[in-house]
Structure 1
Amino acid sequence: MNVSQAKRKIMVNSTQVTYFTFTAYFDTRHFKYLYFIIVMSLYVLIICINLCLIVVICVNRSLHEPMYMFLCSLFVNELYGSTGLFPFLLLQILSDIHTVSAVFCFLQIFCGYSYGCVEFSNLAVMSYDRYLAICYPLQYNTRMTFNKVVVLISLSWLLPLIAIVVLVSLIGSLQLCENIINKVYCDYHSIVKLACYDTTVQNIYGLIYGSLIISCPVSLVFYSYIKILKICFSGSKQTRQKAVSTCTPHLASLLNFSFGVFFEVLQSRFNMNSVPNMLRIILSLHFLTCQPLFNPVMYGLNMSKIRNIFKSLAQCGRKVCL
């Protein structure tokens, strides 16, 4: 069979895919209920801790500052990303047939990728805020006004969402020859690999999108911290302590999320069959499951204002109970 005949055969066999099947799930038998409880507990913990921090920031006027408003945007994104994944995982764990409709698959891709884009954008905006606060403390209030905060938060959400709409529309127009996804959730490159025809446009856009969505925010973060380091080395001990206390959680969050995204990119682009299946599943879920819990713990424990408010709320609760 020559190339033209093979192409004609593919065209004949290609149909409109209405559902996808996941092959990365393995038979857990009676342990599936244990996995369900673990995942459900993690999801409830993420919802409670992020929601609690959002309420604390919104209710207390002392926290209506740019830094805490950016944190609130970050916590809202954690809730958004978790809700796009965890309910689906819980259903798949209990199910014996691991399938999902094409519409829901594309919706999950939209949620997962937009979550990642907004996360990077929020972290970049927060690094810029820390740069202004440490390098220009006397001019901070005039440079980081309320209107500017609103614009930055809006852009950190709107621009990624627009980019993801284009991404999903590109794969939505593909004609697929298969419906087997070797993962536990839907992602862009897994769908592109199932296409019958040339996917150059999708691959180029995916490459440009991935490069820009990672390189631009990370470049802004590095630029901000290079400027901050210069001030720290030439400033007083108090300035260095302030920089360390406010920047450490942010850098830890960026490194944690970047690690998860880096492995996900490697797994999508290269053959990772040599890695054990369980390890691949855990690492592929890292940026979607660990970050929503990592951020509130890091910021909740390191931000003195938030700690003090939680302590006062706890003391009020004890008095009410007594």
Structure 2
Amino acid sequence: MDGEVNETFLTLDGHVELHKYRYLYFVVTLTVYIFIVVANLTIVYVIWMHENLHEPMYVFIAALLLNSVIFSTNIYPKLLSDFLSEKQIISYPACYVQFFLYYCLGASEFSLLAAMAYDRYVSICKPLQYATIMGRTTVSIYLSLAWLVPACLIAVMVVLNVNVKLCKYDINGILCNNSIYGLHCVDSKVQTVFGAVVLVLTLLFPLLFIVFTYTRIFIISYRSSKEVRKKAAQTCLPHLLVLISFSCLCAFDVIIARLGSNLTKVVRLIMTLQAVLYHPLFNPIIYGLKMKEISKQLKRLFSQAKVT
């Protein structure tokens, strides 16, 4: 690419043997994307249509699934376009839009999981006060904060980075994530410090809160009746599985940012795909199979579809 283009566009250099497998990549990715959208939105539809599912726990699940759809839509259409293009490039502003949505939605995921953990804590440990504590206003506030706080923090990160001078124009990846920091000529202390603050506020604090909350739930459940322990296991296990899955995939993103230059292109591609592939697929499967009421309504929906 010539100098003028390099000032405006970045090359996504993380694809492996794209010329050889582009149509295979395209078909597999398109299939996965369609499944992600359909599976997540089907469960959201089920929650929306049935009044018995208009409870805080299911509202948070619906928000989490919508998060997955938007997260995937931020990534997959661009990937599909790149698979069929001769040059895998992205404009500098578009790269930061993808960066913003990628980390904003990722941080929102932890916030929503923290809200769900608190909801389960109140439901199991303070059942008589549940209706009072987890009212519609409270749920609306939690949902708003889960999206607005990460959005504001990540927006500041983008503003701090967008005018930084670039010395490279090739991203060692297939999307705009932490890899863009490797393009900067100089590392800014302000950006590094603020990035650490954002990491603590959006990831570490919610994670510690979730661990503390579930620890309290398990302690109280262990001391309670068998019925309480059963309820805790049925409603908390899916959330914990999703939390563990998402935490592991976030760890992949951090590893890519810190050790990307020491990893082969194939390893970086595999780790990136795990970060953007498994979790949006994992969410609807876990909640669709493990949440009793959702599973029951899904079976009814599919049985009606077969009849018609």
Range into which the TM-score falls when normalised by the shorter chain = over 0.9
Q: Which one of 251, 271, 275 corresponds to residue 262 of structure 1?
A: 251
Residue 279 of structure 2 is aligned to residue 303 of structure 1? no
Q: Which one of 218, 222, 239 corresponds to residue 229 of structure 1?
A: 218
Alpha-carbon contact 1:127-1:225 (below 8 Å) kept: yes
Give deviations 1:271-295, integer Å, cap 9, x for gaps.
553x443232121232322111101
Q: Which residue in 2 is equivalent to 1:242?
A: 231
Q: Which one of 63, 66, 74 corresponds to residue 53 of structure 2?
A: 63
Q: Which residue in 2 is equivalent to 1:284?
A: 272
Q: Which one of 70, 81, 103 corresponds to residue 80 of structure 1?
A: 70
Q: Which residue in 1 is equivalent to 2:24?
A: 34
Q: Which residue in 1 is equivalent to 2:83?
A: 93
Alpha-carbon contact 2:260-2:268 (below 8 Å) kept: no
Give deviations 1:46-97, integer Å, cap 9, x for gaps.
0001111111111111111000100111011001100000001111112221
| Further displaced range: 304-313 or 67-76 | 304-313
Q: Which residue in 1 is equivalent to 2:153?
A: 163
Over 3 Å counting, the alpha-carbon distance change for 1:137 and 1:268 in structure 2 is same
Give deviations 1:179-229, integer Å, cap 9, x for gaps.
111111112x43333223451111111122123221111011011111101
Residue 234 of structure 2 is aligned to residue 218 of structure 1? no
Query: In structure 2, the residue corresponding to 1:139 is in which secondary structure?
Result: helix
Alpha-carbon contact 1:77-1:115 (below 8 Å) kept: yes
Taking structure 1 as the reference length, the TM-score comes to 0.90
Alpha-carbon contact 2:242-2:283 (below 8 Å) kept: yes
Alpha-carbon contact 1:46-1:79 (below 8 Å) kept: yes
Larger radius of gyration: 1
Alpha-carbon contact 2:105-2:147 (below 8 Å) kept: no
Q: How far apart, in 2, do the equivalents of 1:14 and 1:171 lie? A: 21
Query: Taking every aligned residue pair, what percent have the same amino acid on both sides?
Result: 37
Q: Which residue in 2 is equivalent to 1:121?
A: 111
Taking structure 2 as the reference length, the TM-score comes to 0.94
Q: Which residue in 2 is equivalent to 1:201?
A: 190
Q: How far apart, in 1, do the equivalents of 2:238 and 2:9 lie? A: 41
Q: How far apart, in 2, do the equivalents of 1:199 and 1:17 lie? A: 20
Q: Which residue in 2 is equivalent to 1:22?
A: 12
Alpha-carbon contact 1:16-1:176 (below 8 Å) kept: no
Matched residue pairs, number?
306
Instruction: Name stretches of at least 5 consecutive residues in structure 1 with no aligned partner.
Output: 1-12
Q: Which residue in 2 is equivalent to 1:110?
A: 100
Query: In structure 2, the residue corresponding to 1:185 is in which secondary structure?
Result: coil
Q: How far apart, in 1, do the equivalents of 2:163 and 2:20 lie? A: 40
Q: CA deviation at 1:28?
A: 3.0
Q: How far apart, in 2, do the equivalents of 1:191 and 1:316 lie? A: 48
Alpha-carbon contact 1:124-1:217 (below 8 Å) kept: yes
